[in-house]
Amino acid sequence: MTAAAEVLAELRALRAGDLPTHGARTLAYVYDSGLSGVDELAAEAHALAAHANGLDPTAFPSLLRLENELVATTAELVGGTEHTVGAVTSGGTESCLLAVLAARTGAPEVREPAMVLPETAHAAFHKAAHFFGVRAVPVPVDPVTFRADPAAMAAAMDERTVLVVASAPSYAHGVLDPIAEIAAAAAARGIRMHVDACIGGWVLPHLGVPPFGFDVPGVTSVSVDLHKYAYCPKGVSVLLHAGAELRRGHYFASADWPGYTMLNTTVQSTRSGGPLAAAWAVVRHIGADGYRRLALDARAAAEEIAAGIGKIDGLRVLGAPDSTLVALALDGTPGFDLFTVADEMSARNWYVQPQFAHGVSPSNLHLTLSAANRGHEREFLADLESAVTVARAAGPVEVDPRVLEFVAALDPEGLTSEQFAGLLAAAGLGDGGAVPARMAEVNTLLAAAPPRLRERLLLEFLGQLHH
Ligand SMILES: *Cc1c(COP(=O)(O)O)cnc(C)c1O
């Protein structure tokens, strides 16, 4: 046996090489309430239930109770009624997957089911399309506001449409789609309408934005992540439905084997009680007032940072963010490179997330602001300004234009794994999965790659990372 202390020391050493999850300098992937004691509470609650199995709610009634309470709290936040029901899932992607699955299963008469979604909808819906054989019909968004275009969405709906999707807000630009108009168009055709409030569900209700949940006629399901702005440890999201009959399509039973009759509400069968108990404890501890303050703090940080970005020469904010997410882009052609700015921010211990151009959206850097950013906006803006100054002095990233042309013209279908390995090496990603400290050149190459090629390249890279 290895001593527990030694094992933990090893784990701590490994974790020290990661991006920090607290301190609000990692502006994607993680959420920091800035409150003390919340993590400790979550860890204790997690430990209390980690070995309990949500597979059988009659065997572990405590988990059923926790789940029902989380569903009720979430429903209340997003306009739920006495008919609203739900399920706790492992995350936003699972919630979105199940919304699509339920819609497809609920329309067995539709032979080639399709889903109409704004091109800004989360990639989780493309994953759902891929998993469940539903055709994704992406609809261009407004090129200035980046909001879904209700008329274009309505025009894209037809007899094959089993689900319409909108975001509250979108991840990439943090803007709220015109939910009411889209939901009305879906309802007029008798089509289900899912509102993806994975990242906004716990924030927007405190910001005085237009209704986006079940209080909007036509909305049939809503996804809300607890491991984002409810500041719970990872592994918890809620999928809500306007009525129990809408949920049935993602329930699963199998009596077709000699073991227990398998009954599942979600993708998982054995389900740890840990994430659920941790989320329940954090939500109960912070409470409605606490969340209101955290939401207002995160929003204030986002507003101050967005306003500051607008004052930096050469930068602008995409759209008018409605929540706590900001996308910053180049203003005109200022002669520097955003990917270099991202590298310079890394050198200043900030993680900002590059987003490649797509549809009407230019390349940009994404910021997820949380409550802990409040009061530290100036630190961020000062470092951003100095990062831009350095990037400007460095000039645009130099990648041989012939290489860019070559990459842009490649057809991923015709390439072998060896050719991909060669490409990755040429891109600076070939070293057995090591990532270079400066990513600007790599990002410039990836940005030049058409989406299908970029997907394949990065999947080959992922395959190198995982043994
Ligand atoms: C984060 C997010 C998702 C996916 O959630 P995961 O928890 O990462 O699986 C879906 N939609 C939106 C809008 C999100 O922000």
Residue 45 confidence (pLDDT):
98
**Distance from the CA of 92 to the center of ligand 1, in angstroms?**
4
Q: Which residue has the least CA distance to atom 7 on ligand 1?
A: 92
pLDDT of 115 > 80? The answer is yes
When pLDDT is averaged across residues 379-404 and rounded to a whole number, the result is 92
When pLDDT is averaged across residues 51-57 and rounded to a whole number, the result is 97
Pocket test for ligand 1, best of 199, 221, 237, 325 (most atoms within 8 A of CB): 199
pLDDT of 430 > 80? The answer is no
pLDDT of 444 > 70? The answer is yes
Band (pLDDT 50/70/90 cuts) for residue 154 is very high
pLDDT digits 0-9 by tens, 224-276: 999 999 999 999 999 999 999 999 999 999 999 999 999 999 999 999 999 99
Convert the chain into a string of H (helix), E (strand) and C (coil).
CCCHHHHHHHHHHHHCCCCCCCCCCECCCCCCCCCCCHHHHHHHHHHHHCCCECCCCCCCHHHHHHHHHHHHHHHHHCCCCCCCEEEEECCHHHHHHHHHHHHHHCCCCCCCCEEEEECCCCCHHHHHHHHHCCEEEEECECCCCCCECHHHHHHHCCCCEEEEEEECCCCCCCCCCCHHHHHHHHHHCCCEEEEECCCCCCCHHHCCCCCCCCCCCCCCEEEEECCCCCCCCCCCEEEEECCHHHHHHHCEEECCCCCCCEEECCCCCCCECHHHHHHHHHHHHHHHHHHHHHHHHHHHHHHHHHHHHHCCCCEEECCCCCCCEEEEEECCCCCCCHHHHHHHHHHCCCECEEECCECCECCEEEEECCHHHCCCHHHHHHHHHHHHHHHHHHCCCCCCHHHHHHHHHCCHHHCCHHHHHHHHHHHCCCCCCCCCCCCHHHHHHHHHCCHHHHHHHHHHHHHHHCC
Band (pLDDT 50/70/90 cuts) for residue 432 is low
Residue 431 confidence (pLDDT):
67
pLDDT digits 0-9 by tens, 324-383: 999 999 999 899 999 999 999 999 999 999 999 999 999 999 999 999 999 999 999 999
Q: Is the CB of 122 under 6 A from ligand 1?
A: yes
pLDDT digits 0-9 by tens, 79-94: 999 999 999 999 999 9
Q: What is the mean pLDDT of the chain?
A: 95
pLDDT digits 0-9 by tens, 11-30: 999 999 999 999 999 999 99
Residue 403 confidence (pLDDT):
80
Q: Which domains does the chain have, with CATH numbers?
A: 42-283 (3.40.640.10), 401-465 (no CATH)
**Distance from the CA of 400 to the center of ligand 1, in angstroms?**
36
**Distance from the CA of 195 to the center of ligand 1, in angstroms?**
12
Residue 464 confidence (pLDDT):
85
Band (pLDDT 50/70/90 cuts) for residue 418 is confident
Q: Which residue has the least CA distance to atom 4 on ligand 1?
A: 92
pLDDT of 412 > 90? The answer is no
Residue 433 confidence (pLDDT):
63
Higher model confidence: residue 458 or residue 40?
Answer: 40
Q: Which residue has the least CA distance to atom 12 on ligand 1?
A: 198
Residue 463 confidence (pLDDT):
86
Residue 423 confidence (pLDDT):
79
Give the integer Cα–Cα distance in Å for 431 and 178. Answer: 46
User: 71-80, 244-253, 308-317, 433-442: which range is least confident on average?
Assistant: 433-442
